[in-house]
A and B are shown apart, each in its own frame.
Chain A
């Protein structure tokens, strides 16, 4: 008797796997491989940011202090909370609790949307102050010293290039996450995730926690580390 016949698979077992357990572990390994490429992807940006910051710290410090720390802190709180609700989604998958899956998925989506709303409010503020890089960029809001060399403003603009690109890319990852969760919530509602089969919930959970991990480093580097100077 083969292993595949030893336990019920409810038609979820793909033909190239022996057991659901093996299928689940392969999915997890594939997801971690994808996350490793994401670490490299964001890592390059973090490295670029670090190099410019350490080579010429002053303009980055001036620019950093102009971000809205209050909204940034609230957003970190919102995102960490969404990671908790996502962890509870996966747990509800493990216990096969359909109602808890749906409820926590909806909560996670709501928190993610709130995060993006607050982020949009911050972007709006920065656009209003002409801090978005490009033709309309102005150092007026940064209150640079009178005798500041032109390069100071240019380097400060570079900070905002990193800021908008990194938080924008992070926000884009969140949009993808919300879209995936929208599909999952329909499938969960139909009762497609049971204690034997919840791989999609767990993989989406890994993705979501990764998005949270990126923010855990983005927030202090962009908003906090220059506040004390």
Chain B
């Protein structure tokens, strides 16, 4: 009977209990990044500003998704679904912006 209970699944997935300290560490990192992004916004570095601001936002998003949302400890299928959402988002952005950024660059009248 015991062999039916000790399946790998019981140690797996969303039932992985993280110590509270993990959440506090992520929270502290999020706070540091919040202060950093607001402080950085007042320093003029031209186009680099936008890049760094977005990098900070993406780092915050990854920490929230990985630890708070437990993606890091979830089964592969959840990884696939979570990354699929962002993959389609990237495709939507890439194709649309590729159009708007290159309009007029061929110098054809009416294009």
Contacts and interface: CB of A to CB of B under 8 A. Distances in A.
Given A76-B34, A224-B38, A32 B88 contact: no
A82 B61 CA distance: 15
Nearest to A217: B57
B69 to A, nearest CB: 5
Nearest to A22: B9
Contacts of A33: 81
Contacts of A206: 69
A29 to B, nearest CB: 6
Given A54-B100, A88-B20, A213-B61, A43 B34 contact: no
B14 A28 contact: yes
A209 B69 CA distance: 7
B93 A21 contact: no
A1 B17 contact: no
Contact of B30 (A28, A80, A90, A202): A80
B96 interface: yes
A40 B38 contact: no
B60 A40 contact: no
Interface residues of A, number: 53
Contacts of B27: 80-81, 83-84
B41 A225 contact: yes
User: Chain B contact residues: over half helix, strand or loop, or mixed?
Assistant: helix
Contacts of B31: 77, 80
A206 B65 CA distance: 9
B106 interface: no
Nearest to A33: B81
A153 interface: no
B75 A216 contact: no
Contacts of B82: 32, 35-36
A91 B37 contact: no
Interface in B25-51: 26-27, 30-31, 34, 37-38, 41-45, 49-50
A51 B97 contact: yes
Contacts of B57: 216-217, 220
Interface string B5-24: 10001100111011010011
A95 interface: yes
A54 B34 contact: no
Interface of A: 1, 3, 6-7, 19, 21, 24-25, 28-29, 32-33, 35-36, 39-40, 43-44, 47, 50-51, 54-55, 69, 73, 76-77, 80-81, 83-84, 86-88, 90-91, 94-95, 202, 205-206, 209-210, 212-213, 216-217, 220, 224-225, 227-229
30 contacts: A19-B9, A21-B13, A24-B13, A24-B15, A25-B13, A28-B13, A32-B81, A36-B84, A39-B85, A40-B85, A43-B89, A43-B92, A44-B92, A51-B96, A51-B97, A51-B100, A77-B31, A77-B34, A83-B27, A84-B23, A91-B17, A91-B23, A94-B17, A205-B69, A216-B64, A220-B57, A224-B37, A224-B41, A225-B53, A228-B45
